[in-house]
């Protein structure tokens, strides 16, 4: 089968690989129908993820059709259409039993990282019963590709951790795909204001289209001042960090109101300054989270009932044999205006 393979820092290739086999009774083999590329895949390609060894098939998102199942799989059978979750969950360990699938002892984020992933014609999914979700008949399958990672990530790490409430004020720092997923899903809770901060006017325009009540281009470094003025000096109830660099985290520190939450989504490579000398008495919370995908069933219901339309995050389409172009397009987002790209397998 065709597969996109990580070949070491800066290198990737389309290769021919054998179709994977069932390795454990709880496995399923899924024939990929649609997959996509995540910012994390770019991190791997930069060599930033030592957990991912050269030779790995990338990709942790997608939808497909069950090809075969192991002997202990009871929830799926050949021919079932499924969403692949980016997180593999054994369903048995202490973390899984507490809903923290991200820290599953034998699972977690392993797909396209420690085991071969979804940017291929077939993928082996461990713990299939607790790591795949059935696609309802008649669903828009492109929309559901967004349920593999980006929507639960924006929702769990940004919106749920950020305790977005009716009438509250939310700021999202970073309007990439993950920030936009937080923007879409924060509207589940009817906040009064959603401010999006970025440096790219195109992404800010998209943010406005997707429901932001204010967009701020922070090229002039005045976003904090503007937000404090807009909020009467009080700040925002929820500040979502969706970039992953110290500067944007510190912006969140600067704008969070007393009693508010800084909900970090960004993948950080270095430490940030925590200004405890200003924050110790502000009654705030700072949260971090690797997505657990525990909200996937809930999100599926919101998509099926048309509370959100995740296809609005999709900008480009490719075939698997042109996935190298898809990577180029996704990596050059500033030029191509790419958000999520769909790759048909």
Residues of this chain, 80-119, that bind a second copy according to CB under 8 A: 91-92, 94-100, 102-103
23 in contact with a second copy (CB under 8 A): no
Map tokens 């401010």 to a residue: 195
Q: Which is nearer to a second copy, 120 or 262 (CB)?
A: 262
Binding-site string for a second copy from residue 290 to residue 309, where x marks contact by CB under 8 A and - marks none: x-x-x--xxxxxx-xx-x--
269 in contact with a second copy (CB under 8 A): yes
Shortest distance in whole angstroms from residue 230 CB to a second copy: 13
Q: Are 214 and 230 in contact (CB under 8 A)?
A: yes
**Of 22, 42, 199, 286, which lies in the binding site for a second copy, with binding defined by CB under 8 A?**
286
What are the backbone dihedrals phi and psi of residue 96, each rounded to the nearest 5 degrees, phi first? -60, -40
Q: Angle at Cα 301 formed by Cα 175 and Cα 209, nearest 5°? A: 30
Shortest distance in whole angstroms from residue 115 CB to a second copy: 17
Q: Are 128 and 83 in contact (CB under 8 A)?
A: no
Please state, in angstroms and rounded to a whole number, the distance separating the CA atoms of residues 256 and 254. 6
Shortest distance in whole angstroms from residue 104 CB to a second copy: 11
165 in contact with a second copy (CB under 8 A): yes
Q: Could you tell me the two tokens for 270? A: 């270095």
**Of 202, 213, 315, 322, which lies in the binding site for a second copy, with binding defined by CB under 8 A?**
213
Q: Which is nearer to a second copy, 92 or 114 (CB)?
A: 92
Q: Are 113 and 44 in contact (CB under 8 A)?
A: yes
Stretch touching a second copy by CB under 8 A, among 57-65, 184-192, 196-204, 324-332:
184-192
Q: Are 216 and 223 in contact (CB under 8 A)?
A: yes
Q: How many CA atoms lie within 13 A of 18 on its CB side?
A: 3
Site residues (CB under 8 A) for a second copy, limited to 115-144: 129-130
47 in contact with a second copy (CB under 8 A): no
192 in contact with a second copy (CB under 8 A): yes
């Amino acid at each position: 089968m065709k597969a996109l393979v990580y070949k070491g820092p800066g290198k990737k290739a389309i290769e021919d690989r054998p179709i994977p086999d069932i390795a454990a009774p709880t496995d399923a083999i899924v024939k990929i129908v649609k997959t996509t590329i995540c910012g994390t895949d770019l991190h791997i390609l930069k060599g930033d993820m030592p957990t991912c060894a050269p030779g790995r098939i990338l990709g942790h998102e997608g939808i497909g059709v069950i090809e075969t199942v192991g002997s202990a799989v009871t929830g799926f059978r050949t021919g079932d259409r499924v969403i692949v979750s980016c997180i593999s969950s054994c369903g048995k360990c202490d973390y899984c039993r507490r809903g923290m699938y991200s820290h599953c002892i034998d699972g977690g984020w392993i797909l396209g990282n420690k085991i071969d992933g979804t940017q291929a014609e077939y993928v082996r999914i461990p713990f299939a019963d607790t790591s795949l979700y059935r696609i309802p008949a008649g669903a828009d399958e492109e929309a559901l590709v967004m349920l593999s990672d980006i929507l639960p990530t924006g929702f769990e790490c940004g919106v749920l951790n950020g305790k977005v409430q009716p009438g509250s004020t939310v700021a999202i720092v970073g309007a990439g795909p993950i920030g936009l997923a937080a923007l879409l899903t924060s509207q589940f809770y009817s906040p009064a204001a959603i401010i999006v901060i970025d440096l790219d006017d195109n992404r800010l325009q998209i943010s406005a289209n997707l429901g932001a009540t204010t967009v701020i281009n922070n090229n002039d470094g005045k976003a904090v001042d503007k937000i404090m003025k807009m909020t009467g000096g009080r700040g925002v109830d929820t500040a979502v960090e969706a970039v992953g660099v110290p500067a944007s985290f510190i912006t969140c520190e600067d704008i969070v109101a007393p009693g508010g939450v800084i909900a970090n989504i960004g993948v950080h490579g270095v430490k940030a300054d925590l200004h405890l000398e200003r924050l110790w008495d502000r009654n705030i919370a700072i949260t971090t989270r690797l997505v657990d995908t525990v909200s996937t069933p809930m999100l599926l219901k919101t998509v099926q009932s048309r509370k959100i339309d995740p296809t609005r995050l999709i900008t480009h389409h490719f075939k698997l044999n042109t996935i190298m172009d898809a990577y180029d397009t996704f990596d050059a987002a500033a030029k191509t205006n790419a958000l999520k790209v769909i790759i048909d397998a």
